[in-house]
Structure 1
Amino acid sequence: MKSSRRRVVAVIAALVALVVAVLVLQRVEQRRAAAWLDARLAAYEAFDAGAYAHAAAALAPLSQGGDGPAMRRLARLYADGLGVTRDRERARALYTRAAEAGEVAALLPLARLIEAEARRSGAAEDWREARDAYERAFAAGAAAGAAEAATRLAELHAAGDGVPASDVDAAHWYRRAAGARDPAAQLRLGLLYAEGRGVPEDPVRAHAWLNVAVARLPAGEIALRETALAHREAIERRLDAAERAEARRLAHDLFE
């Protein structure tokens, strides 16, 4: 009987010790999590405040720990030489790791960095990597800068940068960027429809896209707004009343 009680007491003591150990470990983990969060916030605040040298030092251990947003910020510092010696190779590696960690906002700056390398080298393989990187950014959606990625792809095809110049391919990507609400792409797509370059000539659709571009372009984009307005007015003079009504209806649909 006594031995049975001793066993029960021993089991209870062991369970209590286990519970205490778990509680202690939980408390330690909570403190670590709180310290990590404080360090993260301090690093981000230093970055946002322009204290780049301090930010770089604070972001480094977070990046080593696999923090995607920290890797993206640290990559920006190395890419632009802010608070650290410029190191494009290290920046590219950090952007790549950040993207692999699920930080989709790293995809567009990574694509820009690869494009810059392609412009320096002129190598077909580097240009192909740049296009692939922009396509990944586009596929990742708005959070990754899809509209700008599509616009850059359109511009590469329009200018023949790393690929044979093609109005058809440029129009393809301008349509995607315009659909993602990039007003500069909407302007350029309208001009393509007006001139029949890469797409069938369609003054009604051209007028509609130019109308949307005028509505969406920021007030500070004076040159682009003036271009859109001038071409829209020139096209409007060529339209009859029914075509103008159709252009306004289409613009309303495209704007939404």
Structure 2
Amino acid sequence: MENKPQTGLQHVPTGAALSLHSTRSGIIARGRRDAANAASNLHYRQAAIDYNVGNFSEAATNFQLAAEQGHVESQYILSTMYDTGKGLSKDDTQAAYWERKAAEQGHVYAQANLSFRHYAANSFAEAFAWCQRAADSNLAWAQYNLGLMYRKGEGCERNNTEAAYWYRLAAAQDFPEAQQKLADLYYLGEGVPLSYTQAAAWYRKAADHGNSEAQFRLGYLYEVGLGVEHDYTLYRHWMRQAALQGHEEALREVKRREYRDAV
């Protein structure tokens, strides 16, 4: 089974709605109890209300005011609004400015996105440094991205053992892409001892979460009986699941099998 080239880093998605007491707010800026926190900043509170009812221009104005007061969550959200042009004119310079402000205050989502911004500009050393900070705060996206960078040697020396370590941390948080990449390492015996059993187990976890590459690879393992008992029914099931998501190799395999079965 061919091991495909590693894909690029993932950008942290932005939620559709905001909460004054969200998990996202809870994992950043631990220990802050000053007037700039989410509960006490009036500009942030009004901005969140406006944002959630679709008044994005009004929300942007209040996020800006709160951000200028040093409110870290507002700085992060304002950066995403400049990034997407929601409620104000799209402005990459302003997006990067407020993203860095939030990142420097310890906002892990901002750190991860700042890492992505540097990565997209081929500034791999800076991308790696910011990704490391977010990964150390247990953000699964960053842990996965850090694993990719170690795997490819971008911003660091190539190190499959470190890649496996960071993939595993993200995989333990049910991050399906990390589960699939960790399975790849077990399949190849790179950074971890070669183990088709472990590869199959991690492919299964990722496949159960809808990862089409893992579904395809798990189907292959069932076809040839590596790490699992040969099972033609499960081979067809996982190939078809991957094909339904548009996985090109799985689509070809399903068509090939249907042709053979018809003969």
TM-score, scaled to structure 2: 0.63
Q: Deviations over 1:68-109 (max 9, x none)?
A: 21111111112222xxxx433332232232234454332222
Q: 1:59-208, aligned counterparts within 5 Å?
A: 59-81=99-121, 86-101=122-137, 103-117=139-153, 121-122=157-158, 126-141=159-174, 146-163=175-192, 165-208=194-237
Q: Deviations over 1:207-239 (max 9, x none)?
A: 222233333x13xx44431223423664x569x
In structure 1, what is the Cα distance between the partners aligned to 2:189 and 2:143?
23
Which structure has the larger Rg over C-alpha atoms? 1
**C-alpha contact (below 8 Å) 1:52/1:77 kept by paired residues:** no
Q: Deviations over 1:140-172 (max 9, x none)?
A: 12xxxx211111112223334344554333223
- Is residue 66 of structure 2 the alignment partner of residue 35 of structure 1? yes
**C-alpha contact (below 8 Å) 2:213/2:242 kept by paired residues:** yes
In structure 2, what is the Cα distance between the partners aligned to 1:134 and 1:104?
9
**C-alpha contact (below 8 Å) 1:210/1:229 kept by paired residues:** no
**C-alpha contact (below 8 Å) 1:211/1:232 kept by paired residues:** no
When residues 27 and 162 of structure 1 are mapped into structure 2, their CA distance, relative to the original with a 3 A threshold, is closer
Task: Kindly state the Cα deviation for residue 31 of structure 1 after the two structures are TM-superposed.
Answer: 5.5
Q: 1:10-25, aligned counterparts within 5 Å?
A: none
When residues 114 and 26 of structure 1 are mapped into structure 2, their CA distance, relative to the original with a 3 A threshold, is closer
**C-alpha contact (below 8 Å) 2:164/2:192 kept by paired residues:** no
- The amino acid of 2:41's aligned partner reads Q
In structure 2, what is the Cα distance between the partners aligned to 1:67 and 1:164?
36
- The amino acid of 2:99's aligned partner reads L
Q: 1:201-216, aligned counterparts within 5 Å?
A: 201-215=230-244
Q: Deviations over 1:159-216 (max 9, x none)?
A: 343445543332232122212221221122112111112222121222222233333x
When residues 174 and 132 of structure 1 are mapped into structure 2, their CA distance, relative to the original with a 3 A threshold, is same
In structure 2, what is the Cα distance between the partners aligned to 1:59 and 1:128?
31
Asked which structure has the greater RCO (Cα within 8 Å, sep 6+), the reply is: 2
TM-score, scaled to structure 1: 0.64
In structure 2, what is the Cα distance between the partners aligned to 1:111 and 1:135?
9
What is the aligned-residue identity percentage?
Answer: 24
In structure 2, what is the Cα distance between the partners aligned to 1:156 and 1:27?
44
In structure 2, what is the Cα distance between the partners aligned to 1:104 and 1:168?
24
In structure 1, what is the Cα distance between the partners aligned to 2:195 and 2:217?
14
* Larger helix fraction of residues: 1
Which structure 2 segments of 5+ residues have no match? 1-33, 45-64, 68-72
Superposition RMSD in Å: 3.3
**C-alpha contact (below 8 Å) 1:214/1:225 kept by paired residues:** yes
